[in-house]
Amino acid sequence: QAKKAGRNTLRFFDPNMQEVINARVELERDLRQAIENKEFQLYYQLQVDGDGRSLGAEALIRWNQPKRGLVSPFNFIPLAEETGLILPIGQWVLDAACSQLKAWEQNPLTNHLSLSINVSAQQFKQADFVSQVQTSVQHHAINPNLLKIELTESMLLDNVEHIIITMVALQAIGIRFELDDFGTGYSSLQYLKKLPLQQLKIDQSFIQDITEDSSDQAIVRTIIAMARGLNIDVIAEGVETDNQLAYLRNYGCNHFQGYLFGRPAPINEFETLLESSRRYPRDVLLRGLAGT
Ligand code: C2E
Ligand code: MG
Ligand code: MG
Ligand code: MG
């Protein structure tokens, strides 16, 4: 037995380690398969103003895997980033989002809606990213002002000059930008001033305890004041309760996203919620119709 084990090149591996590796290999294989089989789906989460009226949505990817079920982006985006598979996945998201925007644009009840997509650093840094976006916008013949790109602060860590050049080029064709998870990363105020940003998205970790935690209150109030000074909009993410909403409104935040207004949902459910927000905006604001 020992002799046999001695010849085994994996003998220093913890068996658990081997399992982790196998799971990863399998996940990567399934992910490649998913791209070919088009197993991805966009979920949409409503964004509203201070009166509960719809402003738009954030597109959040889901993976419908035959044997795994619905896979959360937390469980496959990191591997997709490591393997480069995020590039074809990101392309798919861009195309699906433009196609949905086109559908909304054709209906007077929905033609005001913006749609935000999350873009990974690697995707954004591709030499031809600007032309990919331009091609998709033209292919679907959408109003580019309604397509928003969410970037994170961590992307600004290296080669920020290059990021700014790409942002400016995209802004020139009408695309708008949001800085996602704001406050959790490392953003120099110097950059904030230079970036062509339309919106800061306050990270949900600051919203969670905002009614009790005085540090979170101070941070959020500072972000709101700073954004106002820089003439950038603010949206709060992860709003789950009426009290959180009341606090945020009181301090001048007037764009919101969170379970209070609706969970991310497939397009049909999202459009039902949208209809309610149109007919009964106060209800959406006060009760969070889909917020279960
Ligand atoms: P994110 O962009 O910060 O998205 C917000 C996340 O918070 C979403 O998780 C959303 O479902 C969740 N959320 C929204 N409202 C609430 C709330 O009131 N309470 C709580 N507890 N959570 C709330 P999700 O959909 O699992 O997405 C996770 C992350 O995966 C996203 O974080 C984003 O970083 C990434 N992601 C999602 N879709 C894409 C995509 O198409 N491309 C890339 N590169 N990343 C994506
Ligand atoms: Mg986001
Ligand atoms: Mg976020
Ligand atoms: Mg996040």
Which pLDDT does position 287 carry in this prediction?
58
The atom of ligand 1 lying closest to the CA of 237 is 15
**Cβ count near 249 (within 10 Å):** 14
pLDDT at 2: 44
**Residue-level pLDDT at 234:** 97
Q: Tell me the two tokens of residue 87.
A: 């590039």
- pLDDT-based confidence at residue 11 (cuts at 50, 70, 90): low
Burial class (CB within 10 angstroms; exposed 0-12, middle 13-18, buried 19+) of 4: exposed
Give the Å distance between the CA of 14 and the centre of ligand 1: 34
Query: What digits encode the pLDDT tens for the residues 214-244?
Result: 999 999 999 999 999 999 999 999 999 999 9
- Give DSSP secondary structure letters for 123-178: HHTSTTHHHHHHHHHHHHT--GGGEEEEEEGGGGSS-HHHHHHHHHHHHHTT-EEE
- Residues 66-87 pLDDT 10s: 999 999 999 999 999 999 999 9
Q: How confident is the model at residue 292 (pLDDT cuts 50, 70, 90)?
A: very low
Distances, alpha carbon 147 to alpha carbons 108, 189, 241, in Å:
17, 25, 28
Task: Give distance in angstroms: CA of 184 to centre of ligand 3.
Answer: 10
Q: Kindly state the percentage of the chain with pLDDT values over 70.
A: 92
Say yes or no: CB of residue 74 within 6 Å of ligand 1.
yes
**Using a 6 Å cutoff on CB, does residue 216 contact ligand 1?**
no
The ipTM, to two decimals, is 0.97
List, for residues 271-284, the tens digit of each pLDDT value: 999 998 888 776 76
CB of residue 180 inside a 6 A radius of ligand 1: yes
Question: Taking 60 as the threshold, does the pLDDT of residue 152 lie above it?
Answer: yes
Which protein residues have their CB within 5 A of the ion that is ligand 4? 181
Q: Is 72 touching ligand 1 by the criterion CB < 6 Å?
A: yes
Q: Is the CB of 75 under 6 A from ligand 1?
A: no
Q: How far is the CA of 203 from the centre of ligand 3 (A)?
A: 6
Compute, in angstroms, the gap from residue 4 CA to the centroid of ligand 4: 48
- Highest-scoring range by mean pLDDT, 4-8, 128-132, 160-164: 128-132
Q: Give residue 131's pLDDT.
A: 98
pLDDT tens per residue across span 91-109: 999 999 999 999 999 999 9
Please write the tens of the pLDDT for every residue from 200-222.
999 999 999 999 999 999 999 99
Nearest C-alpha to atom 22 of ligand 1 is from which residue?
A: 238
What number does the ligand 1 atom closest to the CA of 257 have?
15
For residue 158, count other CB atoms closer than 10 A to its CB: 10
Q: Quote the percentage of the chain above a pLDDT of 90.
A: 78
Tokens of 63: 């993976």
User: Is a pLDDT exceeding 90 seen at residue 121?
Assistant: yes
**pLDDT exceeds cutoff 60 at 7:** no
CB of 92 closer than 6 A to ligand 1?
Answer: no
Pocket test for ligand 1, best of 60, 82, 148, 239 (most atoms within 8 A of CB): 60
Q: Is the CB of 95 within 6 Å of ligand 1?
A: no
Least confident of 18-32, 125-139, 241-255, 278-292: 278-292
